[in-house]
Amino acid sequence: MAPRSRRRRHRKPPSSVAPIIMTPTTIVTPMPLTPSKPGPSIDTLGFFSLDDNVPGLSQLILQKLNMKSYEEYKLVVDGGTPVSGFGFRCPQEMFQRMEDTFRFCAHCRVLPSGLSDSKVLRHCKRCRNVYYCGPECQRSDWPAHRRVCQELRLVAVDRLMEWLLVTGDFVLPSGPWPWPPEAVQDWDSWFSMKGLHLDATLDAMLISHAVTTLWASVGRPRPDPDVLQGSLKRLLTDVLSRPLTLGLGLRALEIDVRRIGGSTVHVVGASHVETFLTRPGDYDELGHMFPGHLGLRVVMVGVDVANGFSQSTSTSPLEPGTIQLSAHRGLYHDFWEEQVETGQIDHPDLVAAFHPGFHSSPDLMEAWLPTLLLLRDYKIPTLITVYSHQELVSSLQILVELDTHITAYGANPFMSLKPEQVYSNPNKQPVYCSAYYIMFLGSSCQLDNSQLEEKVDGGI
């Protein structure tokens, strides 16, 4: 391993990137996270960027959710308890207020507070998702909306059905794979393998009290059973996309998961998306993908890790076949120096970043650069996912400029099948989580340790 001075001496170009991180935690014993120095938060940047396209939208969201500030919103998103009167008297009020956060004209961007007395916001009757302040705006917007109307109809259903994951009523079906792992290469083969057992599980969910109560509370007609079953399948792929994408990386980069003591995966730039509703069983499919593995540690690292995520600094060998989830709050290059180099946390066999976003903002690039250089120079197998082909091209260009040795990239066979609506621009083409991947290992111009130390000492 190269000396610590290597990491410190990286000189930051005008645009850089440092990962967002968290402290290791055991999934069995929840403990409070101890924050280290805060870094750039993609959650914060994303929330306030809503106003760029729809002025006042961030305040509308806070108002409808009975919150006084973004800090309180962030506290709830991170799994904390707000101090003000956040909460709703009944499920009907909750769903109504949540829907109200989407109420603005998709064409002229006017909010309810900006409407004249003669106008009212009404949703598109086809998708029940996008709102307009009148027929004129709806007609003008139809050429753009018609391209996404059907997908946004799915989004509107998924947005409500997702509540079953929040409440814990929809438990992901899991169990040992009856097929050889190499036969499961994508969602089609995964669903074929699960077969009738999965269908029976989903059918039972559809007639459950939880689903009946949900649709009695939302103030709109209940869709047909095939529509709801399709939604459950999309939600299932959304949750399982992350563990199975990690498995894709372990496979493609030929990581030995039968190493004595277990293997370690670091998820860098982790946020509430990866940690807020994550339950112990959510990563079981990763274990089933590698029967006979000798233990897998998955450590989430990022400044936006949820407060409720459990934590442990144990480095004792794992029991064969077990998966341990943990988290660290902070930036990855700091985590590396404080935890990995000191031997408190195992050296990673794979590092993954889900939607790092360093292509989208100079601030994020500045934050991510130390981590990207660290991963490159320590020759750590790395997997990155992005939302779209455009993001893939932009991210590849940055990584090429950083002289990383890109080993593979392309469409992810285990991407989420749940369409994601762009909140403040609803008629923009929906995207899919982890739609594309990039893998890299080391530098495109490999140096031995002595050459690397000379280069580091002389500056980059």
Q: How far apart are CA 288 and CA 244, in angstroms?
A: 10
Q: Determine the pLDDT at residue 236.
A: 96
| Contact by Cβ (8 Å): 286, 323 | yes
Q: Determine the pLDDT at residue 453.
A: 45
Q: How far apart are CA 454 and CA 414, in angstroms?
A: 41
> 3-class SS at 24?
coil
CA 55 to chain centre: 26
| Contact by Cβ (8 Å): 53, 424 | yes
Indicate the DSSP class of residue 217: H
CA 328 to chain centre: 16
Q: What is the 3-state secondary structure (H, E, C) of 98-141?
A: HHHCCCCECCCCCCHHHCCCCCCCEECCCCCCCEECCHHHHHHH
| Contact by Cβ (8 Å): 414, 248 | yes
Q: Determine the pLDDT at residue 192.
A: 97
| pLDDT tens series, the chain, 460 aa | 333 333 333 333 333 333 322 222 223 223 233 333 444 566 677 777 788 888 888 888 888 888 878 777 777 766 666 655 556 778 888 888 888 888 999 999 999 989 887 788 999 999 999 999 999 999 999 999 999 999 999 999 999 999 999 899 998 888 899 999 999 999 999 999 999 899 999 999 999 999 999 999 998 899 999 999 999 999 999 999 999 999 999 999 999 999 888 899 999 999 888 887 788 788 999 999 999 999 999 999 998 888 766 555 466 778 899 999 988 888 899 999 999 999 888 899 999 999 999 998 888 899 899 999 999 999 999 999 999 999 999 999 999 999 999 999 999 999 999 999 988 899 999 999 999 999 999 998 654 545 444 443 433 3
Amino acid at 288: H
Q: Determine the pLDDT at residue 448.
A: 52
> 3-class SS at 149?
helix
Q: Determine the pLDDT at residue 281.
A: 84
Torsion angle in degrees (nearest 10) through CA of 67, 70, 72, 77:
100
Phi, psi of 124 (to 5 degrees): -60, 130
Place of tokens 């299932």: 236
311: nearest Cα among 70, 41, 40, 36: 36
Q: How far apart are CA 405 and CA 439, in angstroms?
A: 9
Q: How far apart are CA 389 and CA 334, in angstroms?
A: 31
| Residues making up the chain, counted from first to last | 460
| Contact by Cβ (8 Å): 387, 355 | yes
β-bridge partners, 328: 301
Q: Determine the pLDDT at residue 18.
A: 30
For the residues of 379-412, what is the DSSP string, one character each?
T--EEEEESSHHHHHHHHHHHHHTTEEEEEEEE-
| Contact by Cβ (8 Å): 339, 34 | no
Phi, psi of 413 (to 5 degrees): -65, -15
Amino acid at 53: N
Q: How far apart are CA 432 and CA 182, in angstroms?
A: 25
